A and B are shown apart, each in its own frame.
Chain A
Amino acid sequence: MDYTLDIGAVTRNMGPLWEGLAITLQLTLAANAIGITAGFGLALLVLSRFALLRLPAMLFVEFFRCTPAIVQIVWFFYCVPMLFNVFLDPVVMGILALGLNLTAFNAEAYRASIQAVPREHLDAGIALGLSPAQRVLNIVLPQALRASVPVLLTNGIGTFQQSALVAIVGVADLMYQGKTLATQTYRPIETFTIVALFYLAISFPVSQFVGWMERRRGVVR
């Protein structure tokens, strides 16, 4: 292999990568804000006794779980403007596509945590005279929300990584800037390695934190 590594070619041009990282973090944080809040509401709909609420919610979840994220993003960017005649900023479109995807996955995390609260705890709540709303607020949700935090964080960091997919529809995120820089400098190995290290530097601490949280839960229980 007669390829000489020249990291300097990339490190001298880090500006676009930092800009890309800023967009990537913006996509991630905004998508998580949507996923954490709307995911909770969606979980409540999925658990509803009323089929009229439950079935559409389940359909939404299954649609996003059973199709590739890249198809969802491409569909969102090309079909939504044509179908509904709305033209949004690409970053906003990216946030919505990633946010809706995360909403479906987080809804599943919330649903599983809510259903994992032991039935006997509700019986004990009835025996203590708590009303249905008091049982939900004081017994079910505090336990369920705690249990769902590690999964929400794992999903959230998954969205951070998945956000790289929006590069293919022209959002100037970290991956997009990396691709551009690699083409301009003819240094794909250096560029994409550094881009990968960016993703690693943020994902790794979070995944370690999740692991620590889960071990701690295991000890406490």
Chain B
Amino acid sequence: MTAAADTSALLRINDLHKGYGPNIRVLRGLDIEMKPGERVVVIGPSGGGKSTLLRVVMGLEQIQQGTVTFAGRPYISTDGRRTAIDPAVRRQIGMVFQHYTLFPHLSIMENLILAPRKVNGEARGAARDRGTKILERFGLAEKADAFPSQLSGGQKQRVAIARALMLDPKLMLFDEVTSALDPELVAEVEAVILQLAAQGMPMMMVTHDMWFARNVASRVIFCAGGVVVEDGPPEQVLGNPREARTREFIERVFHIKA
């Protein structure tokens, strides 16, 4: 462990262990260090712990061992029984899920301003102004007063991203955000994420779309069996992997897709 290097890391995951019940161990001593401005795509076989990793970083899961540090502040730790999470640090991280998770009883604008108003105490008018700007940026301005049920999957997912951005996150997590979408709707969501990437938003994402991974990633991590198997630039991990298990996975996935 290089504790001295902590200050340069945006996100630092140390020796992370996570299981469900006594017999299912999903993460088995995971170490990842993410620098500011990096866009990390996590790939790997299903059941390999990718989504669990993102959920842990978001503070949605109890862990059995390890620590997670954000911008030099440890915010997730455990004594082996209970997981302690610092909500003030967690608030700097935003997450978008596979199934949109827009609140169906609230309009699009109300979905956007709920957290800014309740969590940050922002005035309704100010929050609405910011919401309008973000919706305009994402081409959704005319949907402000619509309800989630009136939107397509792609529109819902763009709103979910906008909702997370309303809190001005310093790191975005995307958990298979295009997996539930019809194929023709994937591009509009990926375009929004690429737009964020171009603006320098640090992000960590799980995706099965290898072409998108290659486009967006500054770094690719291959995760299998609950540990990091290979970690490097996309040209290496996706194009010319060093590890046999990575190579096997890449070939299988590209073969299926091709």
Task: Give the interface of A toward B (CB within 8 A).
Answer: 118, 120-121, 123-124, 126-131, 134, 138-139, 142-143, 146, 220-221
Contacts and interface: CB of A to CB of B under 8 A. Distances in A.
30 contacts: A118-B99, A120-B99, A120-B101, A121-B101, A121-B103, A123-B55, A124-B97, A124-B103, A124-B160, A126-B59, A126-B60, A127-B60, A127-B93, A127-B94, A128-B114, A128-B163, A129-B90, A129-B91, A129-B115, A129-B119, A130-B114, A130-B115, A130-B118, A130-B119, A131-B87, A138-B114, A142-B106, A220-B147, A221-B104, A221-B149
B103 A139 contact: yes
Q: Which 10 A-B pairs have the closest CB atoms?
A: A124-B101, A128-B115, A127-B95, A129-B119, A129-B91, A142-B105, A120-B101, A134-B118, A123-B60, A143-B105
Contacts of A120: 97, 99, 101
Interface residues of B, number: 27
Nearest to A146: B105
A220 to B, nearest CB: 5
B94, B114, B164, most chain A CB atoms within 10 A: B114
A121, A127, A128, A146, most chain B CB atoms within 10 A: A127
Interface of B: 55, 58-60, 87, 90-91, 93-95, 97, 99, 101, 103-106, 114-115, 118-119, 147, 149, 160, 163-164, 167
A121 B60 CA distance: 12
Name B's interface SS.
Answer: mixed
A123 B101 contact: yes
B149 A129 contact: no
B54 to A, nearest CB: 10
A143 B164 CA distance: 21
A129, A138, A142, most chain B CB atoms within 10 A: A129
Contact of A129 (B87, B101, B103, B160): B87
B103 A127 contact: no
Contact of A128 (B104, B147, B164): B164
Contacts of B160: 124
Given A120-B97, A121-B101, A138-B118, A127 B164 contact: yes
Contacts of A131: 87, 119
Nearest to B101: A124
Contacts of B106: 142
A143 B115 contact: no
A173 B55 CA distance: 59
Given A120-B99, A138-B114, A127 B104 contact: no
